[in-house]
Structure 1
Amino acid sequence: MMIGAINEAAHTLTDGYANNAVLDWCSRGAPTNDFLFTFFKSLINSATLSSRDFTVQVEGCKGVMIWTNNPQGFSFLPNAAKLARMVGWVAALRSWIKYQPWRDRWRRKVMADYDDYITIAYLGVLPHEQRKGFGSALLKYVLDKADTAHYPIFVEVSESSAVPFFEQHGFVIKANGLVCNHSQLPVALMVREPVPVTEVPAPLRLKPGRRDSDNTV
């Protein structure tokens, strides 16, 4: 991804998550759209440095998904100080010091029985392009990889309306939680077991990361 593509993908996720309660809570103290765009741009930039596969877009960036196979989670998130310079300390502390550790603890708890698995961090489609199959197309990309490698997939769903979408693709709710114990921030923690396409799992083949030659962030 070049800088233009990273910006476009960040705009898509910003629009797709504009009314997300969890990210709205994280962004308090900073303009919501500015926070979302900066956060997603930084995340996409770092993810694509690890592997070009970790950010997937569909149909001219009408939908975008960020994922990883790192059992430690999203190690390519910006550190608190860097995020603070971009979005302010209040939003950075809420998202990095509070939300991210909470998210990591729950993921490790739910996935404790698995050595290898895939985590979907964010999957968003432009509001006016939803219900056209773009979300399913993005999800199929990672489902195919998971089934080939015999990997389960973990996703945290913070909007109840999205639960049926993931259930249609084989995900089941393994736990429910409240983000940082906030009663207004419920999430469903969902897992999809692999549907093996071969008896012996194949390696999870990932493209190398891009070179950080354009100083994107």
Structure 2
Amino acid sequence: MPVAIPEKRVSRKITVNLDHHQTNVRPVIKGAIKEASHTLTESFNSNKSLQVSTVNLDETKRDDFLFNLFRGMVDTASLQSRDFAVQVDGCKGVLVWSNRSQLFSWPNTMQTFKYARRLGWTAALRTILKLKSTSADKLRRKIMTNYPKHITIGFIGVLPHEQGKGVGTALVEHVLDKADQTHYPVYVEATDYQAVKFFERFGFVSQGQIALDKDQLITITPMVRQPVTMNEPVSFHVRPGRKDSD
């Protein structure tokens, strides 16, 4: 998913100009998980598709919820493989991806308790149920039926003041390089028109639109990038996941 540009605060300011051909894409280490989660939260706090899931929360609770949701996803991804959560230079941009059929699960029981303490039980359960109902897993499996081996881009976010400098491009190209090496197709969901145009630049093709609200004003667009070669996928090697102690 691409980023939405929020109109609210910017908590970190980095003034160094970035040439995406010289960016350093590297794993999110344990010590940077909070920073990566803040980056994704700032990128998505005005995203309409996630607002559908948090419509009954005030701004502070919504940001708190999104931060904890993203922190759980980044942590889970890096435990699966160090390669599955990557960032650019001080978490200016963050991308979470996977080549596994089981992606990054929605909140488990312990996470639900944490969210309930922050949001209240009613709001937490309502939000989590809505998130589960819009989970991409079922849709992704249907679209990728003919491609049991594929890559999924989960979330990509770039700090608002770092957008337009090639950070997002560097992160996507990092994953696409792995896809090209192994002949894997890539699946992603775009949440607005700008997102669709962004991913089209990399060869992604729309697979239709899915409405997230009854008025069909908020949609997601599943997109697929075919392998650069139609040869059979080759062995996919990713580094083992980090340990909790790392």
Flag the 1:5–1:112 CA change in 2: closer, same or farther, 3 A: same
Flag the 1:181–1:90 CA change in 2: closer, same or farther, 3 A: farther
Tell me which amino acid in the other structure corresponds to 1:202: V
Inter-partner Cα distance in structure 2 for 1:9 and 1:212:
17
- Give the counterpart of 1:61 among 91, 94, 112: 91
Q: Provide, for residues 33-76 of structure 1, a one-character-per-residue CA deviation record: whole Å limited to 9, x for no partner.
A: 1111111111111111111111010122110000111123324x
Establish whether residue 193 from structure 1 lines up as the match of residue 220 from structure 2. no
- Give the counterpart of 1:205 among 216, 229, 237: 237
Deviating runs (4+, > 6 A) in structure 1?
A: none
Which has the higher mean CA deviation after the structures are superposed, 182-191 or 92-101? 92-101
| Equivalence for 2:104 | 74
Inter-partner Cα distance in structure 2 for 1:207 and 1:134:
23
Inter-partner Cα distance in structure 2 for 1:180 and 1:27:
13
- Give the counterpart of 1:11 among 25, 38, 54: 38
Flag the 1:143–1:2 CA change in 2: closer, same or farther, 3 A: closer
Q: Secondary structure at the match of 1:56?
A: strand
Higher relative helix content: 1
| Equivalence for 1:119 | 152
Q: CA deviation at 1:85?
A: 2.2
Check conservation: 2:187, 2:224, Cα contact below 8 A: yes
| Equivalence for 1:22 | 49
Q: CA deviation at 1:84?
A: 4.5
Check conservation: 1:56, 1:65, Cα contact below 8 A: yes
Tell me which amino acid in the other structure corresponds to 2:234: A
Q: Secondary structure at the match of 2:187?
A: strand
Inter-partner Cα distance in structure 2 for 1:140 and 1:185:
28
| Equivalence for 1:99 | 131
Tell me which amino acid in the other structure corresponds to 1:132: K
What's the RMSD between the two structures over aligned residues? 2.2
Q: Secondary structure at the match of 1:26?
A: coil
Q: Secondary structure at the match of 1:9?
A: helix
TM-score, with normalisation over the residues of structure 2?
A: 0.78
Which has the higher mean CA deviation after the structures are superposed, 118-127 or 182-191? 182-191
Flag the 1:156–1:199 CA change in 2: closer, same or farther, 3 A: closer
How many residue pairs get aligned? The number is 212
Tell me which amino acid in the other structure corresponds to 2:225: R
Flag the 1:149–1:99 CA change in 2: closer, same or farther, 3 A: same
- Give the counterpart of 2:112 among 83, 93, 106: 83
Structure 2 spans left out of the alignment, 5+ residues: 1-27
Flag the 1:154–1:28 CA change in 2: closer, same or farther, 3 A: same
Q: Secondary structure at the match of 1:19?
A: coil
TM-score, with normalisation over the residues of structure 1?
A: 0.88
Establish whether residue 178 from structure 1 lines up as the match of residue 211 from structure 2. yes
Q: CA deviation at 1:160?
A: 1.8
